[in-house]
Amino acid sequence: MKNDVRKFTIDEMCALVEMDRRTVRYYIQKGLVDRPEGAGKGAYYTHAHLEQLLAIRKWKRAGVSLDRIQEILADGKGGAPGGQPLPPPPPRKKGAVEVWSHLNVNDGIELHIEPTRAGLSPGQVRALFRDVMKVAGKIREEKS
Protein backbone atom coordinates (compact mmCIF):
# COMPACT_ATOMS: atom_id res chain seq x y z
CA MET A 1 0.00 0.00 0.00
CA LYS A 2 1.28 3.45 -0.82
CA ASN A 3 2.12 5.78 2.02
CA ASP A 4 1.59 8.90 -0.06
CA VAL A 5 -1.77 10.65 0.17
CA ARG A 6 -3.65 11.47 -3.03
CA LYS A 7 -4.01 15.23 -3.30
CA PHE A 8 -6.82 16.92 -5.23
CA THR A 9 -7.16 20.49 -6.41
CA ILE A 10 -10.48 22.24 -5.86
CA ASP A 11 -11.33 21.69 -9.53
CA GLU A 12 -10.53 17.97 -9.36
CA MET A 13 -12.58 17.62 -6.18
CA CYS A 14 -15.53 19.45 -7.73
CA ALA A 15 -15.43 17.20 -10.80
CA LEU A 16 -15.32 14.05 -8.64
CA VAL A 17 -18.32 15.01 -6.50
CA GLU A 18 -20.26 16.82 -9.26
CA MET A 19 -20.47 20.11 -7.35
CA ASP A 20 -19.30 23.60 -8.17
CA ARG A 21 -16.60 25.48 -6.26
CA ARG A 22 -19.10 27.76 -4.60
CA THR A 23 -21.03 24.81 -3.13
CA VAL A 24 -17.88 23.10 -1.83
CA ARG A 25 -16.69 26.34 -0.24
CA TYR A 26 -20.12 26.88 1.30
CA TYR A 27 -20.00 23.41 2.88
CA ILE A 28 -16.56 24.21 4.27
CA GLN A 29 -17.84 27.51 5.67
CA LYS A 30 -20.83 25.72 7.30
CA GLY A 31 -18.43 23.22 8.90
CA LEU A 32 -19.79 20.24 6.96
CA VAL A 33 -16.40 19.68 5.27
CA ASP A 34 -12.92 20.13 6.73
CA ARG A 35 -10.83 23.02 5.46
CA PRO A 36 -8.33 22.10 2.74
CA GLU A 37 -4.76 21.28 3.63
CA GLY A 38 -2.24 24.04 2.95
CA ALA A 39 -3.13 27.59 2.02
CA GLY A 40 -3.69 29.75 -1.02
CA LYS A 41 -2.84 28.26 -4.39
CA GLY A 42 -1.07 25.39 -2.65
CA ALA A 43 -4.24 24.26 -0.88
CA TYR A 44 -5.31 20.70 -1.62
CA TYR A 45 -7.98 18.20 -0.69
CA THR A 46 -7.58 14.58 0.37
CA HIS A 47 -9.60 11.37 0.25
CA ALA A 48 -11.17 12.36 3.59
CA HIS A 49 -12.57 15.52 1.97
CA LEU A 50 -13.85 13.42 -0.92
CA GLU A 51 -15.70 11.10 1.48
CA GLN A 52 -17.24 14.05 3.33
CA LEU A 53 -18.51 15.63 0.10
CA LEU A 54 -19.85 12.34 -1.22
CA ALA A 55 -21.73 11.77 2.05
CA ILE A 56 -23.26 15.24 1.81
CA ARG A 57 -24.24 14.66 -1.82
CA LYS A 58 -25.81 11.30 -0.90
CA TRP A 59 -27.91 12.80 1.90
CA LYS A 60 -28.92 15.85 -0.18
CA ARG A 61 -30.15 13.53 -2.94
CA ALA A 62 -32.13 11.65 -0.30
CA GLY A 63 -33.92 14.90 0.52
CA VAL A 64 -32.24 15.58 3.86
CA SER A 65 -31.74 19.20 4.95
CA LEU A 66 -28.24 20.60 5.47
CA ASP A 67 -28.94 21.12 9.17
CA ARG A 68 -29.90 17.46 9.52
CA ILE A 69 -26.88 16.38 7.44
CA GLN A 70 -24.66 18.31 9.82
CA GLU A 71 -26.20 16.45 12.77
CA ILE A 72 -25.79 13.09 11.01
CA LEU A 73 -22.14 13.75 10.15
CA ALA A 74 -21.41 15.05 13.65
CA ASP A 75 -22.88 11.84 15.11
CA GLY A 76 -20.74 9.79 12.74
CA LYS A 77 -23.84 8.06 11.31
CA GLY A 78 -23.25 8.73 7.63
CA GLY A 79 -24.79 5.44 6.46
CA ALA A 80 -26.19 4.97 2.99
CA PRO A 81 -29.81 6.04 2.46
CA GLY A 82 -30.44 2.97 0.31
CA GLY A 83 -28.64 0.54 2.58
CA GLN A 84 -29.41 1.74 6.08
CA PRO A 85 -32.29 3.62 7.64
CA LEU A 86 -31.80 7.28 8.42
CA PRO A 87 -30.80 7.98 11.99
CA PRO A 88 -33.83 9.01 14.02
CA PRO A 89 -34.55 12.71 13.81
CA PRO A 90 -34.05 14.78 16.92
CA PRO A 91 -37.09 15.21 19.16
CA ARG A 92 -39.56 17.85 18.07
CA LYS A 93 -39.01 21.25 19.62
CA LYS A 94 -41.79 23.50 20.80
CA GLY A 95 -42.63 26.05 18.14
CA ALA A 96 -40.82 24.14 15.38
CA VAL A 97 -42.35 24.46 11.92
CA GLU A 98 -42.85 21.25 9.95
CA VAL A 99 -44.02 20.77 6.39
CA TRP A 100 -46.31 17.80 5.91
CA SER A 101 -47.49 16.13 2.71
CA HIS A 102 -51.13 15.18 2.69
CA LEU A 103 -52.89 12.74 0.38
CA ASN A 104 -56.67 12.51 0.33
CA VAL A 105 -57.08 8.91 -0.86
CA ASN A 106 -60.86 8.76 -0.60
CA ASP A 107 -63.61 9.99 1.67
CA GLY A 108 -62.41 9.07 5.17
CA ILE A 109 -58.95 7.92 4.03
CA GLU A 110 -55.99 10.27 4.34
CA LEU A 111 -52.25 9.82 4.46
CA HIS A 112 -50.04 12.38 6.23
CA ILE A 113 -46.26 12.32 5.90
CA GLU A 114 -43.54 14.60 7.18
CA PRO A 115 -40.92 13.66 4.53
CA THR A 116 -37.85 14.82 6.47
CA ARG A 117 -38.74 12.81 9.57
CA ALA A 118 -39.72 9.85 7.37
CA GLY A 119 -36.39 10.09 5.51
CA LEU A 120 -38.12 10.35 2.14
CA SER A 121 -37.09 12.45 -0.83
CA PRO A 122 -39.79 14.33 -2.76
CA GLY A 123 -39.62 11.68 -5.49
CA GLN A 124 -40.09 8.90 -2.96
CA VAL A 125 -43.12 10.67 -1.48
CA ARG A 126 -44.67 10.98 -4.95
CA ALA A 127 -43.98 7.28 -5.65
CA LEU A 128 -45.54 6.32 -2.30
CA PHE A 129 -48.63 8.40 -3.04
CA ARG A 130 -48.97 6.83 -6.52
CA ASP A 131 -48.71 3.33 -5.07
CA VAL A 132 -51.19 4.08 -2.28
CA MET A 133 -53.69 5.36 -4.85
CA LYS A 134 -53.22 2.19 -6.96
CA VAL A 135 -53.77 -0.09 -3.96
CA ALA A 136 -56.81 1.92 -2.83
CA GLY A 137 -58.26 1.63 -6.36
CA LYS A 138 -57.75 -2.14 -6.39
CA ILE A 139 -59.40 -2.49 -2.99
CA ARG A 140 -62.41 -0.43 -4.16
CA GLU A 141 -62.69 -2.63 -7.30
CA GLU A 142 -62.62 -5.81 -5.20
CA LYS A 143 -65.30 -4.40 -2.93
CA SER A 144 -67.65 -3.72 -5.86
What is the pLDDT averaged over residues 51-59?
90
At residue 90, the pLDDT reads 64
Average pLDDT, the chain: 82
At residue 1, the pLDDT reads 44
Please report the DSSP string for the chain in residue order: ---SPP-B-HHHHHHHHT--HHHHHHHHHHTSSPPPBS-GGG-BB-HHHHHHHHHHHHHHHTT--HHHHHHHHHHT----TTTSPPPPPPPPPTT-----EEEEEETTEEEEE-HHHHT--HHHHHHHHHHHHHHHHHHHHHH-
109-136 confidence digits (pLDDT tens): 899 888 877 777 778 888 999 999 999 9
Q: 8 vs 90, which has greater pLDDT?
A: 8
CATH second-level architecture of 10-75? Orthogonal Bundle (1.10)
At residue 12, the pLDDT reads 92
12-44 confidence digits (pLDDT tens): 999 999 999 999 999 999 999 999 998 888 889
At residue 71, the pLDDT reads 81
Domain segments of the chain as ranges = 10-75, 101-143
What is the pLDDT averaged over residues 100-107?
88
At residue 87, the pLDDT reads 57
Res 69 pLDDT > 90: no
Overall pTM surpassing 0.85 (yes/no)? no
